[in-house]
Amino acid sequence: QVQLVESGGGLVQAGDSLRLSCAASGRTFSSYNMGWFRQAPGKEREFVAAIWWPGSSTYYADSVKGRFTISRDNAKNTVYLQMNSLKPEDTAVYYCAADPNYGRTWYLPGTYDYWGQGTQVTVSS
């Protein structure tokens, strides 16, 4: 069992940066693939970024590529999402997720077994 707690969201202006953190419990965190998703009001949950165990492979949605960076610190049981050059369309609740099964479809929410409660990111124009 893994518990995930996101933090770092907030209200920022377009062009600003934020770093989200996702703290995980459980001794096997370092062996899980991790992902970030987001969900805006009235929209489906969408993939943002993923990082495979042990952290050498990363994947990004086209909409955030070049602006967002996912990373992990297995010693701290934490995964991060550095978000730069934020845009109003990045406004959403951001969720981190854990996949213990090394699924190849890292972009699908159904691949992940564990989810955090989400953190709100609001970008004003």
Dist CA 24 CA 46 (whole Å): 21
pLDDT given at position 27: 66
Torsion of CA 69, 64, 1, 54, to 10 degrees: -40
Q: What pLDDT, in 10s, does the model give residues 105-121?
A: 989 999 999 999 999 99
pLDDT over 80 (residue 42): yes
pLDDT given at position 30: 74
- Percentage of residues in the chain having pLDDT higher than 70: 98
pLDDT over 80 (residue 101): yes
Residue 69, amino acid:
T
* Span 68-95, average pLDDT: 96
* Span 74-80, average pLDDT: 91
Question: Which of 75 and 51 is assigned the larger pLDDT?
Answer: 51
Neighbours of 101 (CB within 10 A): 10
Tell me 56's DSSP state. S
Phi then psi for residue 89, to 5 deg, are: -70, -5
